[in-house]
Amino acid sequence: MKSILSAVVYMHKLGIVHRDLKPENMLYVDKEPNSNLKLIDFGTARKIIPGKKLTKQIGTAYYIAPEVLAKSYDEKCDVWSCGIILYILLSGYPPFRGQTEKEIIEQVKFGNVSFEGSVDHNIRLGLDRGLKRCSGADKTHAGQKYSQTHHCLRCSQLQVDQ
């Protein structure tokens, strides 16, 4: 996860938002245990214009941020996607489920997190709170979506350099 977050921080520093982060768009350079991770498929990427929101609804259903669905977002949509990837890595399942892409998007829009599998109770609570905070469903943090300085990327467990 550290490699993914480091790549996203680097990309954002360069003024680029990917808009379709998902495991399929990440490759390791080689088969070595400490291989470098590369982000690929920048077909949906755009230049970040400070103060200007993006409006095109684009991305993959499981990883798309609620702000993208609302057609008013910035580079922090990539941070949301990283959170979804982390959730899947920890639980083995996507947090939003449905039989169709439309159903999945509805679950994302309304923040209906689905827990399944053998995830530890404390991990579930943390994941649920984090997703609610990011989606604005947690009204105590609604004005602080993602944090202005990528707070989640500075998690003490991850030690991601900015």
Active-site residue set? 20
Looking at 23-100, list the stretches that DSSP marks H as alpha helix, in order from N- to C-terminal side.
66-69, 76-91
Compute the half-sphere exposure of residue 111: CA atoms within 13 Å on the CB side of its CA.
Answer: 15
Q: How far apart are CA 126 and CA 108, in angstroms?
A: 18
Cα dihedral across residues 138, 141, 145, 149: positive or negative: negative
Residue length of the chain: 162
Q: How far apart are CA 140 and CA 146, in angstroms?
A: 13
Q: Which residues of 78-117 are buried (b: 16+ CB within 10 A; e: fewer)?
A: bbbbbbbbbbbebbeebbbebeeeeebbebbeebebeeee
Compute the half-sphere exposure of residue 76: CA atoms within 13 Å on the CB side of its CA.
Answer: 20
